[in-house]
Structure formats: structure tokens, C-alpha cells
Amino acid sequence: MAAGTARSSARSGLSSRTSRSSPGFHASWYAIARSEEVAPGQVLGRDFLEGRAIVYRGESGRASVMSAYCRHLGADLGVGKVIGEDVRCAFHHWQYGPDGKCTKIPAADKIPRAARVFKFPTAEKWGLIWAFNGEQPLFEVPEFAGYQEAELEYRTIEAFDLPVEPWVPFTNSMDFQHLRVLHGLKIDFDPKQIQVGDYRIQYDVRFEDPNLGVFDQCIRVTGTNTIALAGKLNGTSVCSMATGTPTPDGRTVGWMVTATPRSEAAPEQRDRQLQVGEAFFKRLIEEDTPVLSTAHFHEGVLIEADRALAMFFQYVKRFPRSRPAVRFD
């Protein structure tokens, strides 16, 4: 988004827009690529947060996310080359290790201390490579309530691209009015049982989709940009996760993970469960997209039926923000 159209959130509550003076994005885990997009020995450049980052895999297979611009003259390391566990800049062959420090300068014996790029805390889970927007992670990579990664069969796809900050689509998780009227879900729910922590929100809910049947789900929001539903649809297990990542043009790109326990059903049945879970979440995204693509989203006049949503807005306002890589751009 152009800085000239930015609206400050300081006076009238939350706005979906960021400004030049903004203190960065929420200190959270952001997916940057699907795992299978980055083979061992490969590097990718991505627009990420307020700037640009690279994600690369050393020959050993370990993934690292770092700020993209070489500290020498600013070449984008995304067009460099992986050498062993390092990435080498294409311009003058300065080489950086997975901790971001320069390890080699072909034209010099001594490496300046400032010759380092920012290394984001990096993790890999659910078929995604994640980077934490901060010096140190404040919490774990998002999970489905009650499941370890190894217990689940899952698939991961690109799912959305919206002109808003990442927390905006995730207001959906606490916006019960829209779940009823925009998505047509039948929900009887008391917001009092929502547990709001510093970095996570969780609640159990039963709702009915007129076409699919009854969902009994544990809903977990991790950070402000990931929602994971874990539980049953008509008695069979199905889990869905959506996560969003900001880009410097003011957009949020999103991924979706659909999962089901390996132990529970035959492979064909698991496949069907994954298809149903994926189709359900895709429908929600399709119904939200025209609204979220055009809304001038802000915290406006709220009513009693927005009680849970108001809790989400408070959580978002309290959530720490960070911009650890900005001086490396």
C-alpha cells in the first residue's frame, strides 16, 4: 500500500493499514514458502514483512531464512548460489552462513564485523518454512490442538492473497455474526468460554454447516495470523489451518493446511476427509474474499453480538510488534 494513503490506528482503534511510522508487524511466526519449493542447495527470494528475505536450504537440507540484501553493495542474495551450508552473493562472491554472518570474502583476508545479514529464527512444519518476526521466538510454531505433526497426514496449498494486514482475516475466528450470516453456519456459542492468552486464543465450539453436517472443533489462534481447527466433522477427524504472511505492498498472502490422523482411517478415506476439509475452508475463503478485498477495515461501532470480536481486537492491540530486519533492508 502507498504510504500516502495510510491511516493511523492511534486515535480511533484498529485500522487494517500500516504507516511508515508503524512499529512493524506482529512478533509472530510467518510462513514464507512451502517446504517443497526449496530443494537442498536451492535459494529463493521473497517479498516478506516490510522488505525482502531469502529462504535457502543448505546441502544438508537445513532451511534458513535471512534478510535478502548483501551487506557489501546490496545485491539480492536470492539470485545467489548455495555453497555447502552457505549462500554466496552473485555480485562479488561474499558468502554467508546459516547464522547470517559472512564466512568468506574472496578479495580479503579479514571479514568486517558488520558483514552479516539478519537471520530470522527459522522452523519447518506442516509443509511450510516459517520465520519468526523477532530476534527470538516468543512462542512455538502453530499447532493443531491435541496433535503432533507426525500423527497427521496433511497437505498444504497456497490459499489467499488479500490487501490487508495479516490479523484482519483472522478476526473471522471471533466474528460470530459473519460466521452465521455470510457463511451460513449454525452456531450456539457463549463467548465466556474463550481463553485469551498473551500469544494464543482457544475455544471449543460446535457448529453446523447445512451441506456438510456437524463440526465439533477446538479453534486455536496462534499469534494474530494463524488459525487451526482440530476436531470432528460428523464424527470423523478433520483439521484445517490457515496462516497469513504480510508483504511490503500491504497485502497478506496465505496458505492452508488440511490434516487428518494417520491412525484413524484407510488411505482412501483419509483422502476423502482431506478433500472435504479443504473444500470447506476454501468456501469460507471464497465467501470472505470479496468483502476483505474491498473493506476499509477498522474497529467501528460494535454491539453486544460483537463481544468475542471485541476481545480479539483487544488481543491484537496488546500483541507486540517487531521489525528486527528493517536495518538490513
Contacts to ligand FES by CB under 6 A: 70, 72-73, 75, 89, 91-92, 94
Residue 239: helix, strand or coil by DSSP? Answer: strand
Residue 143 sits in the site that holds Fe ion (CB under 5 A): no
Pick the piece of the chain touching Fe ion (CB under 5 A) from 14-22, 160-168, 171-179, 184-192.
171-179
Q: Which residues pair with 43 in a beta bridge?
A: 56
Going by C-beta distance under 8 Å and a sequence separation of 6 or more, which residues neighbour residue 109?
A: none
Closer of 39 and 73 to ligand FES (Cβ): 73
Other Cβ atoms within 10 Å of 166 Cβ, number: 25
* Least distance (Å) between residue 64 CB and ligand FES: 17
Residue 122 sits in the site that holds Fe ion (CB under 5 A): no
Other Cβ atoms within 10 Å of 181 Cβ, number: 9
Q: Which triple of cell numbers denotes residue 21?
A: 511510522
Binding partner selected for residue 317 from ligand FES, Fe ion, none, CB under the kind-specific 5 to 8 Å limit: none
Residue 171 sits in the site that holds Fe ion (CB under 5 A): no
Closer of 117 and 152 to ligand FES (Cβ): 117
Residue 16 sits in the site that holds Fe ion (CB under 5 A): no
Nearest Cα to Cα of residue 168 among 323, 25, 304: 25
* Least distance (Å) between residue 70 CB and ligand FES: 3
Neighbouring C-alpha atoms within 13 Å toward the C-beta of 185 = 23
d(CA 319, CA 198): 7
Rg (CA), the chain: 21
Nearest Cα to Cα of residue 168 among 282, 47, 27, 293: 293
The one-letter amino acid code at 80 reads: G
d(CA 203, CA 196): 9
Please give the helix or strand (H or E) that residue 213 lies within, else none: strand 213-222
Closer of 92 and 317 to ligand FES (Cβ): 92
Residue 237: helix, strand or coil by DSSP? Answer: strand
Pick the piece of the chain touching Fe ion (CB under 5 A) from 68-76, 172-180, 229-237, 295-303.
172-180
* Least distance (Å) between residue 42 CB and ligand FES: 19
117 neighbors 66 (Cβ within 8 angstroms): yes
* Least distance (Å) between residue 303 CB and Fe ion: 18
Closer of 63 and 227 to Fe ion (Cβ): 227
Binding partner selected for residue 75 from ligand FES, Fe ion, none, CB under the kind-specific 5 to 8 Å limit: ligand FES
Please select the residue that binds Fe ion; options are 64, 95, 172, 217, rule is CB under 5 A.
172
The site for Fe ion, by CB under 5 A, has a size of 3
* Least distance (Å) between residue 284 CB and Fe ion: 5
Binding partner selected for residue 288 from Fe ion, ligand FES, none, CB under the kind-specific 5 to 8 Å limit: Fe ion
* Least distance (Å) between residue 92 CB and ligand FES: 3
Indicate the residue whose CB is closest to Fe ion.
172
Residue 173 sits in the site that holds Fe ion (CB under 5 A): no
The one-letter amino acid code at 264 reads: E
Please select the residue that binds Fe ion; options are 86, 288, 299, 306, rule is CB under 5 A.
288
Q: Which triple of cell numbers denotes residue 25?
A: 508487524
Q: Which triple of cell numbers denotes residue 260?
A: 487428518
Q: Under the rule (CB under 5 A), what is the footprint of Fe ion?
A: 172, 284, 288
